[in-house]
Structure 1
Amino acid sequence: MHQVPPPTFRVDGAALRTRRMQLGQSTTELATATGVSDSYIRKLEGGTRCRMRPRHYTALRAALRTTDTDLLTTEDPQERT
């Protein structure tokens, strides 16, 4: 039987960066708390990447003490013209 991949969350990189800076966290601190690499956090903030798997997204949201409303977007950065 064919398995469906887990859903992903589309993260607003600018909102992520704003919230991280409000909390005074470095990208390294946030990456450690989230369970991803520092490079991945920087790519999310810069718009190179925008999707996260549920486990990492939940950890990110908790580390930033914020909500889906503040962190998620429906816009895909690669679709911007």
Structure 2
Amino acid sequence: MQAPRPTFEVDGAVIRKIRMSRGIPTADLARRIGISRSYLTRLEIGVRRHMRPHTYAALRQALELPTTDTQLLAESETTHPR
């Protein structure tokens, strides 16, 4: 049995692009996924790049992306998944 992934490396620019295209303010999205506004901002600008699985799943759900959608992941995650 394979162990669960400890984190997902995300592409903050894509998170920001999708959030803005949906018209969701940073504070609202952060509240929906259970993280601070400052943490979401750090993800979007690339200061932070890793999210825990439950937070990543909450982000996908809040942005209404299907489970199979990988566009939030950094390129290294999609070309060389762990």
* Class of the TM-score when normalised by the shorter of the 2 chains: 0.7 to 0.9
Structure 2 unpaired stretches of 5+: 77-82
Q: Cα offset for 1:35?
A: 0.3
Q: What is the CA RMSD across the aligned residues, in angstroms?
A: 2.0
Please name the residue that 2:71 is paired with: 70
d(CA) in 2 for partners of 1:29 and 1:50? Answer: 20
The 5 A counterparts of 1:15-54 are: 15-54=14-53
> For 2:15, what is the secondary structure of its paired residue?
helix
Residues matched between the structures, number: 73
Runs (4 or more) in structure 1 with deviation over 3 Å come to none
Structure 1 unpaired stretches of 5+: 76-81
Report the identity percentage: 50
Superposition TM-score, scaled by structure 2 size: 0.80
Q: Cα offset for 1:74?
A: 3.6
d(CA) in 1 for partners of 2:5 and 2:72? Answer: 19
Q: Which amino acid in structure 1 is aligned with residue 13 of structure 2?
A: A
Instruction: Deviation per CA, 1:35-71: give whole Å up to 9, x if none.
Output: 0000000000000001000111100010011254210
d(CA) in 2 for partners of 1:5 and 1:64? Answer: 23
Instruction: Deviation per CA, 1:1-57: give whole Å up to 9, x if none.
Output: xxx895101110000000000110011000000000000000000000010001111
Superposition TM-score, scaled by structure 1 size: 0.81
Q: Which amino acid in structure 1 is aligned with residue 43 of structure 2?
A: L
d(CA) in 2 for partners of 1:65 and 1:6? Answer: 22
